[in-house]
A and B are shown apart, each in its own frame.
Chain A
Amino acid sequence: MQTVFERPKALSDVSMHYCPGCTHGIIHRLVAEVLDELNITDKTIGVAPVGCAVLAYNYFECDMAQAAHGRAPAVGTGIKRANPDNIVFTYQGDGDLAAIGTAETVHAAARGENITVIFVNNAIYGMTGGQMAPTTMPGQVTQTSPYGRDVKTAGYPVKVCEMLSTLDGTAYAERVSVDSVKNVKNTKKAIKKAFEYQLAGKGFSIVEVLSTCSTNWGMEPVESLTWLRENMIPYYPLGVYKDKEDSK
């Protein structure tokens, strides 16, 4: 019998803790497929965040560190500077990367730190139970924006790819989504490119993946994908925001 589909070798054979309908599992798988295809798992070091993906160290078959909330780019910097021949990636959510870790993210990018950041944006704090995130949409109801995010008092969402693409140290910044088969395929391409840029020593690369949180959005999984498509993508347009290959 011919095997037509199997678990990537870089993905551990364990059950994940993510909620039904959550797209972290898809994104984990895509990262693992890329590690397999580039044949770099045995020289890769991943950095897990604080948040829903805190247990990511259980799911990847490479060396892993777990960082304090928001500090993954600083921890990744230390690892990469100690062992420049290793491939280093961080895997972070929006609360981790765009709130408490904004400084670490911006400055790792500004330094052109030769690491890859996988940024999962689901517009809410997941693990702590659905509070407002820096990326929560205007009007979006969360546990701490019970009347909908009011931009007059809570300010506006942070558009991470747009922000980081202004920095000279950013080599590659692309926003993708996992709401459809086509977009999942594009996400894998983007993740692969981000790792290839690191392998080529081009500098900081980030892939922002628009993702769902069915549990805390209070929606069915399929309804979540539709909500992502109809609400998040117009506000967070998909596409390449920075590509040093394209510029001189």
Chain B
Amino acid sequence: MTEKVLMKGNEAIAEAAIMAGCRHFFGYPITPQTEVAAYMSKRMPKIGGTYLQAESEVAAINMVYGASAAGVRAMTSSSSPGISLKSEGLSYLAGSDLPAVLVNIQRGGPGLGGIRPSQADYFQATRSSGHGDFHLIVFAPNTVQEMFDLTIEAFEVADRYRMTAMILGDGMLGQVMEPVDISRSANITLPGKDWALTGTKGSRKKNIVNSLYLEAEELEMLNFKRFEKYAEVEKIARTENYLTDDADVIIVAYGICARVAKNAINEARKNGIKVGLVRPVTLWPFPKKQLESAAEKARAFIVVEMSMGQMIQDVELAIRCSRPVSLCNRTGGMVPTPEAVLAAIENADQAGRS
């Protein structure tokens, strides 16, 4: 039996984390993700968990580092400027191979920017979430249901691969209310964490959680090994495809932009334009193969995103620039309209025919 409740996106993330067995949340208020913290502050004390409002984003991610090192499922959430502050901790989590979940409900930037929805942290999430050689697993939900489901999955893959998994949403998804089926069961059986800091209890040698390697050869070897793991993680790359089987024009969009694009696609189809959507559900690993196979049939690509054009680079790389790729974008907190996307579809369709 399904149990549907009406929830905000941010609340769905928090509830999913709790269902995934997360009992340690460390955060700092910032719009438009504050409901995650508020929800946690209400629920955690009642279920024997920890809600701790840190003195800064920097402290919050390092509390996650400590809790994760101690072997529990831990999480923090923030919005764009706060994620920048967390980048130091993300690098240390990666360097120490610790699992953690991080939520970024993006707002417009750069700087303090604004509080309206944005996707301008794509590069930060997929390219440069901190110093050094490493990656995060990045999930991009586009419904409140997915914010719930992917948060549970984030905890599972974080533990499986000993990596940080990020939920990359935007201010609109965080605030929108939709019915959510919360009956999905989560796998809260933790994998063996024989590396965790729990005290030796006199029964094993000491464990050390560390990212310092003064011997360059040793560090290089560890980085090679970590990237061998990342090659395995590439297999979880996935998309949702919508009307792509016969499509001449492919829209690539994630998050809220994908929903706008679907409206535009439905309109364009009424006018006889064969257009479909490839929606990356994972942004890292990026679903290259799915885009390659879309490029075998389509004449043209359009990337719809709320940035000055960030994911478009991954799309061009994935299809090796074999098809024209145009950008339909807004920035600074503006959401593209279905009309603007429809116009972009008509342009791409015309250009493809001439």
Residues of A within 8 A of B (CB): 41-45, 47-48, 54-55, 57, 60-68, 71, 74-83, 86-87, 103-104, 106-107, 111
Contacts and interface: CB of A to CB of B under 8 A. Distances in A.
A68 B89 contact: yes
Given A44-B199, A63-B200, A82-B70, A75 B206 contact: no
B67 A45 contact: no
A83 B23 CA distance: 12
B62 A42 contact: no
A64 B208 contact: yes
Contact of B71 (A67, A82, A107): A82
Contact of A75 (B56, B63, B71, B212): B63
Contacts of A57: 208, 210
A62 B207 CA distance: 8
B72 interface: yes
A77 B70 contact: no
B59 A71 contact: yes
Contacts of B56: 103
A55 B213 CA distance: 10
A142 B208 CA distance: 34
A169 B74 CA distance: 25
A81 B69 contact: no
Contacts of A54: 212
Nearest to A12: B206
Contacts of A80: 66
12 contacts: A42-B199, A45-B198, A57-B208, A62-B199, A64-B210, A68-B65, A71-B89, A74-B58, A78-B69, A81-B52, A82-B72, A82-B74
Contacts, number: 138
A81 B55 contact: no
B31 interface: no
B97 to A, nearest CB: 13
Contacts of B89: 68, 71
List the 5 closest A-B pairs by CB distance, nearest first: A78-B66, A74-B62, A82-B70, A78-B67, A107-B55
B54 interface: yes
A103 B56 CA distance: 8
B67 A79 contact: yes
B273 interface: no
B200 A79 contact: no
Contacts of A64: 197, 206-210
B175 interface: no
A83 B70 contact: yes
Given A65-B66, A66-B212, A82-B74, A103 B199 contact: no
Contacts of A111: 52
Contact of B200 (A48, A62, A106): A62
Given A42-B201, A62-B199, A75 B210 contact: no
Interface of B: 24, 26, 50, 52, 54-56, 58-60, 62-72, 74, 88-89, 92, 96, 197-202, 206-212
B211 A66 contact: yes
A66 B200 contact: no
A67 B198 contact: no
B53 to A, nearest CB: 10
A99 to B, nearest CB: 14
Contacts of A71: 58-59, 62, 65, 89
B200 A78 contact: no
Contacts of B52: 77, 81, 111
Nearest to A84: B50
B68 A78 contact: yes
Nearest to B89: A68
Contacts of B68: 78
A41 B199 CA distance: 8
A45 B70 CA distance: 9
Contacts of A65: 65-66, 69, 197, 208-210
Contacts of B199: 42-45, 62-63, 83, 86-87
Given A41-B200, A78-B65, A79-B70, A66 B208 contact: yes
Nearest to B206: A63
A60 B210 CA distance: 14
A76 B64 CA distance: 10
A78 B208 contact: no
Contacts of A81: 24, 50, 52, 63, 66-67
A35 to B, nearest CB: 11
Contacts of B197: 45, 63-65, 79, 83, 86
Contacts of B62: 67-68, 71, 74-75, 78, 104
A224 B24 CA distance: 45
Contacts of A74: 54, 58-60, 62-63, 65-66
A58 B24 CA distance: 29
Nearest to B202: A42
Contact of B63 (A62, A78, A106): A78
A86 B56 CA distance: 25
Nearest to B63: A78
Nearest to A41: B200
A135 to B, nearest CB: 22
